[in-house]
Amino acid sequence: MTKIKESSTNFANKKALADECPEIYASNIIGGQWALAICCYLINGKMRFGELKKKLQNITERMLTLQLRRLEEDEIITRTVYAEVPPKVEYELTEIGYKLKPIILELEKWGNEHKQIMEKK
């Protein structure tokens, strides 16, 4: 996952769109394939790294770590580290993260409807 150079036209275009359109702003935060999938699993409650890794079988540990850090930076999830040996770390949606639940459920409903339409072709 590479970062877009802040001096690039692509960065300027993304920023301008996000500033003008809240929907684009939101999709930039959860629009990635893995970010939304992580949020889907966390709407049911806290999970540990290993549990998320098992659910997202095709994600690498590095990509999962990067996605979790990004979601934490955006305050969508919180990371709680317990002083235990071995260390126990749990991830959970924040208050604003839990507000994604009805949106995720609607996306699921829309996705199922669209999939049925496409299968009829």
pTM over cut 0.85: no
- Looking at residue 17, its pLDDT comes to 75
Examine the pLDDT at 98 and tell me if it is beyond 80.
yes
Please give the Cα distance from 120 to 102 (Å, whole number): 28
Which residues are within 8 A (CB) of 40 and not within 5 positions of it... i.e. 6 or more apart? 104
- Looking at residue 95, its pLDDT comes to 97
pLDDT digits (tens, 9 = 90+) for 11-43: 777 777 767 788 888 888 888 789 999 999 999
Write the single-letter amino acid at 50: G
Mean pLDDT score of the chain: 90
Mean pLDDT of 116-120: 93
Percentage of the chain lying above the pLDDT 70 cut:
94
Percentage of the chain lying above the pLDDT 90 cut:
67
Q: Print burial letters for 42-79: b (CB count within 10 Å at least 16), e (below 16).
A: beeeebebeebeeebeebeeeebeebbebbeeeebbee
Please give the Cα distance from 19 to 54 (Å, whole number): 36
Mean pLDDT of 82-97: 93
- Looking at residue 3, its pLDDT comes to 63
Q: What is the largest CA-CA distance in the chain?
A: 55
Confidence of residue 1 (pLDDT cuts 50, 70, 90): very low
Examine the pLDDT at 56 and tell me if it is beyond 60.
yes
